[in-house]
Amino acid sequence: MEHLLNPKVKSIEISGIRTFFNMVSDYENMISLTIGQPDFETPHHIKEAAKSAIDENRTTYTHNAGILELRKAAANFLQSKYNLTYRAENEIITTTGASQAIDVTLRTILTEESEVILPGPVYPGYEPIITLSGATPVHVDTTQHEFKMTRSLIESAITERTKCIILPSPSNPTGVALSKEELANIADLLRDKEIFVLSDEIYSELNFSDDHNSIAQFEGMREKTIVINGLSKSHAMTGWRVGFLFAPEEICKHILKVHQYNVSCASSISQYAALEALQNGLEDPVQMRKEYKDRMDYVYNRLVEMGLSPIKPDGAFYILPSIKQFGLSSFDFAMKLAKDGNLAVVPGSAFSHYGEGYVRISFAYKLDILKEGMDRLERFLNTL
């Protein structure tokens, strides 16, 4: 019966990140620097709030968009942190993680044969949804621009079919973030164009400069921008699956319909945990961010010493060094490193064809693990 399945579904692949992780997971004595998973525990007070929600039988459906108190807390968060104003009643949706927010957004705004511009290399979770929506992903090559989407790159890729531009900042897999000036230049280009912007800001609280900017802050951009955020990375809550979608009412009301038929609502228990995080845990990310910064500095300096010349990340917990000098494909390099060096990293080809020639290293691991991982990488490179 497989031949009767939706051909669009058959044409997409399981994430290259997970594919490679699964391939090497059974290797003995393996250090894996592959998955973007915080190694911190969810803060205690958040877990206690979830337990209380269970004990108080807050286990029923909520409003499709999430409990109003949580949406108000999310609105206050964006206003106080990033000077972005959204109405809790009709411009915010609580989603089952940022991934579901991306899914329902793209399925709402995209039409057959429309195009979506996104950076390359880029997180692999966007392209399959674009494809399933009948649209076409258009990657632009950022490798000569310090992995940053620029006004000129976007301008050169826009066609009459362009429907959306995706701006992840800070970015997975590169860790780079767009500055206020860079976003202003992009806003100047897009302000008068009928093109949506999906601004993926899930790593906003892990910006090492503590100066995150959103393109929705700029004049004329709020009306066409859908901001995605959440608590998975900032509060070490990946398994709780809580994300947020912020958009003008005339866009949000249609996304809500797709969200409703997709999941009805996010988990009620997770929502009450998220409420505690946003009301009493705004400082929770501070220590995590400091430790990620220390880990980034260590890994970056080690890679420079090895002669790999990586672009220094601005945030998140990834770095994408080039391995082109060794004459191997990113997949072959990563497989050889796993087999001969007992170190797992992600081939850059998992992040679009513009990732070829790079490997992604996650530094969401304790410093002693990173030290051993860098030692193994250095020994391996000395054999090539």
Q: What are the two backbone dihedrals, phi and then psi, of residue 10, each rounded to the nearest 5 degrees?
A: -65, -25
Q: What is the pTM of this model?
A: 0.95
Q: What does the pLDDT read at residue 158?
A: 98
DSSP 270-294: HHHHHHHHHHH-TTHHHHHHHHHHH
Q: What does the pLDDT read at residue 22?
A: 74
Class in CATH terms, 2-42+284-381 = alpha beta
Asked if 288 and 359 touch (Cβ cutoff 8 Å), the reply is no
- Tokens matching residue 257: 């319909």
Q: Kindly state the helix (H) or strand (E) to which residue 319 belongs, with its residue range.
A: strand 318-319
Q: Please state, in angstroms and rounded to a whole number, the distance separating the CA atoms of residues 208 and 191.
A: 28
Cβ neighbours of 202 (radius 10 Å):
26
Q: What does the pLDDT read at residue 16?
A: 64
Asked if 181 and 50 touch (Cβ cutoff 8 Å), the reply is no
* Three-class DSSP category at 252: helix
Give the pairing type, strands 243-246 and 92-95: antiparallel
Name residue 195's amino acid: I
Q: Boundaries of CATH 3.40.640.10 in the chain?
A: 60-280
Interhelix angle 367-381/284-305, nearest 10 degrees = 20
Name residue 204's amino acid: S
Average pLDDT by consecutive 10-residue portion of the chain (384 residues)? 85 72 76 92 98 98 98 97 96 98 98 96 96 97 97 98 98 97 98 97 94 96 98 97 98 98 97 98 96 98 96 98 97 94 95 97 97 98 94
- Tokens matching residue 148: 């940053």
Helix ranges (DSSP H) in 29-67? 44-55
Q: Boundaries of CATH 3.90.1150.10 in the chain?
A: 2-42+284-381
Q: Please state, in angstroms and rounded to a whole number, the distance separating the CA atoms of residues 230 and 204.
A: 9
Q: What are the two backbone dihedrals, phi and then psi, of residue 278, each rounded to the nearest 5 degrees?
A: -85, -25
Task: Name the CATH architecture for the domain at 60-280.
Answer: 3-Layer(aba) Sandwich (3.40)
User: Is the bond preceding 170 in cis, omega lying within 30 degrees of 0?
Assistant: yes
Asked if 175 and 143 touch (Cβ cutoff 8 Å), the reply is no
Give the pairing type, strands 162-168 and 243-246: unpaired
Q: What does the pLDDT read at residue 115?
A: 98
Q: What does the pLDDT read at residue 210?
A: 73
- Tokens matching residue 161: 């079919």
